């Protein structure tokens, strides 16, 4: 009977779980991924911008160092002056005193002639109407060419049927003007071998830019180029004739889709004389057509004497 009176002891074991560590590492990882994405996006944007655009951005964000006012005490410089090395010297005065010439008699104040003339006119720069006109026209051309390049790229991007030849179409602003290149790629020619007629895809790409070229007033130069090493069945028909015929065919396509003949400056065949890759004249990319919008020659100012 004593066994039945024995107390029953029940042991309950409580298992403690590990403390929750939180999700701070997830936030840190997300910030890291976002920073890396922004970094690679910045690298891509830098690689896509031209040197002129980079210079413009640097100028935009650079702090000004010269006050727009002619007063030294009330402007940004606060009465200080710039020394000969262009570094700011607080409270200093320039070592050299320059005689600031007033506008001479007969010159209108606020004009280029008045600003570039005066008592030291013989020692300074003379106003050249021809050069000023040339600079003004070039600035206008640069702006027009930049807009035209963007329009050409947009026109090609809007044509999904020419996506396969996107790497063959190049638009570049050069010292001569706006250069549009239609180049061959290895295994992807823009013209059938030995033919002066482009493929249908190439023809559509050329036709798309004709209305854009017509809107500008710049003269158009068309040049055909071939790669070295080509063979021709007809001994009287060489790379010179082929490059010339291809350039003329491109002229005809542009004219068919809106570019007037009076806008054409020249149509030339360059054969292998000007390779795109001089170190490898046999490369397929040397086989190309170049359509160049040239800077206009400035008009001769009235009264200009030789």
φ, ψ at 283 (rounded to 5°):
-65, 145
C-beta pairs of 107-114 under 8 Å, 24+ apart in sequence:
none
Q: Is the pTM of this model over 0.75?
A: no
Domain ranges of the chain: 132-294
- Per-residue model confidence (pLDDT) at position 110: 44
Identify the band that residue 302 occupies on the pLDDT scale cut at 50, 70 and 90.
very low
The predicted model gives 170-183 an average pLDDT of: 92
The predicted model gives 293-298 an average pLDDT of: 76
- For 84-132, how does the pLDDT look when each residue is reduced to its tens digit (9 = 90+)? 444 444 444 445 444 444 445 555 434 444 444 444 444 444 445 545 4
Residue 292 has pLDDT above 90, yes or no: yes
Decide: 301 and 129 in contact? Cβ < 8 Å. Answer: yes
Lowest-pLDDT range of 62-66, 118-122, 295-299? 118-122
d(CA 303, CA 59): 38
Decide: 131 and 148 in contact? Cβ < 8 Å. Answer: no
* H or E element that contains 172: strand 169-173
Pairing outcome for strands 81-82 and 177-183: unpaired
- Per-residue model confidence (pLDDT) at position 170: 93
Selected residue with higher pLDDT from 218 and 61: 218
Q: What are the structure tokens assigned to 81, written together?
A: 């002056």
- Per-residue model confidence (pLDDT) at position 231: 85
- Per-residue model confidence (pLDDT) at position 24: 81
Question: Using N-to-C axis directions, what is the helix angle for 129-157 and 200-215, rounded to 10°?
Answer: 140
Selected residue with higher pLDDT from 290 and 74: 290
- Per-residue model confidence (pLDDT) at position 305: 54
Question: Which CATH architecture is the domain 132-294 placed in?
Answer: 2-Layer Sandwich (3.30)
d(CA 264, CA 62): 42
Selected residue with higher pLDDT from 98 and 144: 144
- Per-residue model confidence (pLDDT) at position 252: 96
Cβ partners under 8 Å of residue 3, min gap 6:
none
- For 188-217, how does the pLDDT look when each residue is reduced to its tens digit (9 = 90+)? 899 999 899 999 999 999 999 999 999 988
d(CA 120, CA 92): 26
- Per-residue model confidence (pLDDT) at position 17: 61
d(CA 284, CA 273): 15
How many angstroms separate the most distant Cα atoms in the chain?
Answer: 141
Mean pLDDT across the chain: 76
- Per-residue model confidence (pLDDT) at position 14: 66
Lowest-pLDDT range of 12-21, 172-181, 184-193? 12-21
Cβ partners under 8 Å of residue 29, min gap 6:
none
d(CA 56, CA 58): 5
- Per-residue model confidence (pLDDT) at position 21: 60
d(CA 272, CA 286): 8
């Amino acid at each position: 009977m004593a066994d039945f009176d024995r107390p029953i002891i029940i042991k309950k074991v409580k298992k403690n779980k590990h403390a929750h560590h939180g999700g701070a590492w997830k936030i840190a990882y997300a910030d890291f991924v976002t920073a890396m994405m922004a970094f690679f996006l910045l690298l891509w944007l830098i690689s896509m911008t031209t040197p002129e655009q980079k210079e413009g951005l640097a100028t935009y964000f650079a702090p000004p160092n010269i006050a727009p006012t002619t007063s030294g005490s009330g402007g940004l410089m606060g009465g200080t002056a710039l020394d000969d090395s262009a570094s700011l010297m607080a409270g200093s005065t320039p070592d050299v005193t320059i005689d600031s010439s007033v506008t001479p008699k007969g010159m209108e104040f606020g004009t280029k002639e008045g600003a570039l003339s005066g008592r030291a006119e013989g020692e300074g720069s003379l106003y050249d109407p021809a050069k000023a006109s040339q600079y003004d026209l070039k600035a206008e051309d640069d702006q027009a060419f930049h807009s035209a390049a963007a329009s050409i790229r947009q026109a090609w991007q809007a044509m999904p049927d020419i996506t396969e030849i996107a790497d063959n179409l190049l638009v570049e602003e050069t010292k001569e003007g706006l250069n549009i290149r239609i180049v061959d790629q290895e295994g992807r020619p823009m013209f059938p071998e030995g033919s002066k007629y482009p493929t249908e895809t190439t023809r559509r790409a050329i036709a798309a830019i004709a209305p854009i070229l017509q809107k500008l007033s710049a003269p158009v130069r068309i040049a055909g180029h071939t790669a070295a090493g080509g063979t021709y069945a007809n001994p009287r028909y060489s790379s010179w004739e082929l490059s010339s015929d291809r350039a003329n065919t491109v002229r005809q396509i542009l004219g068919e889709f809106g570019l007037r003949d009076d806008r054409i400056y020249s149509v030339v065949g360059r054969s292998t004389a000007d390779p795109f890759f001089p170190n490898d004249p046999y490369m397929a990319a040397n086989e190309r057509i170049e359509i160049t919008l040239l800077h206009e020659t400035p008009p001769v100012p009235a009264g200009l004497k030789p």
